[in-house]
Amino acid sequence: MGINVLITAGGTAEPIDRVRFITNFGTGKLGCLVAERLSEYDNVDTIFHVHSRGAYRPVSDKVVDVQIGSAEDLAEMAEKLAKTEKIDAVVHSMAVSDYRVRSVTTMGTVFEVAQEAADEEHLTESLTELDARKIYTKVPSNLGAPVLVLERTPKIIPMFRELLPEAVIMGFKLLDSVSEEHLIDVAYELLKKNRCDYVLANDYATVSAGVHKGYLLDAERNYASYVGKEDIAVAIARVIAEGRK
């Protein structure tokens, strides 16, 4: 029996209302390439490609296509797949939004709350409690200056280890315009904190410049660097399918 792999790709979309959302620049291209390279291995049976709307999609008979929207949708889908399918490895490349909209209010309401707050801590607490989880069907165009109150989204990567204690887990870390040493340090901390087997570290400065450079770390802090999404995808697929960098 071959292995089954769960790949997350693209960027989540956090709703402001039913027609607007907050998202990021995640395209899912690297996750798509990883799925395609993995599909070439005889020992890979099924690839669950969980992606955002508009993300790149792999073409292979081994791929099960699963579209999600928000970080909450992703968490629910991850739990469902972990419970109903045999998942041997996870490649969590999706750019999950750090925040979602808790409520939509007005500058006038914020001003009123601020006048009643004793200090910054109380103001933050009052705004956090304001119209909790209130999302308009559609934010009125005459609302004036709408204010979005945000809250943290659920952390997905630690969920995978809890849901799939025996699986190979690969996380991703993206920083911007940092030194190689700092990038590796931060990525390794992510690996240890979330009990990953591997982490792919990226610097957005190289991604935006069109020369994507990735560093693939293991649990012993050994790492190798790869340039270009295709080479990175090949390396990730080799680690997942063959167990070696």
| Residue, of 26 and 89, whose pLDDT is higher | 89
Phi, psi angles (nearest 5°) of residue 164 = -130, 75
Domains of the chain: residue spans and CATH: 3-98+155-242 (3.40.50.10300), 101-152 (no CATH)
Q: Is the pTM of this model over 0.85?
A: yes
Whether the CB-CB separation of 217 and 184 falls below 8 Å is answered with yes
∠ Cα 168 172 174 (to 5°) = 170
Q: What percentage of the chain has pLDDT greater than the value 90?
A: 70
Instruction: Supply the pLDDT for residue 84.
Output: 97
Structure tokens at 70: 């928000």
Whether the CB-CB separation of 144 and 110 falls below 8 Å is answered with no
pLDDT tier at 131 (50, 70, 90 boundaries)?
Answer: low
- Mean pLDDT confidence for 52-61: 95
- Mean pLDDT confidence for 22-27: 90
Whether the CB-CB separation of 1 and 45 falls below 8 Å is answered with yes
Q: Is the pLDDT of residue 132 over 60?
A: no
Q: What is the helix (H) or strand (E) element at residue 71, kind and residue range?
A: helix 71-84
Q: Is the pLDDT of residue 44 over 70?
A: yes
Q: Read off the amino acid at residue 65.
A: D
Q: Give CA–CA dist 168/89, Å, rounded.
A: 4
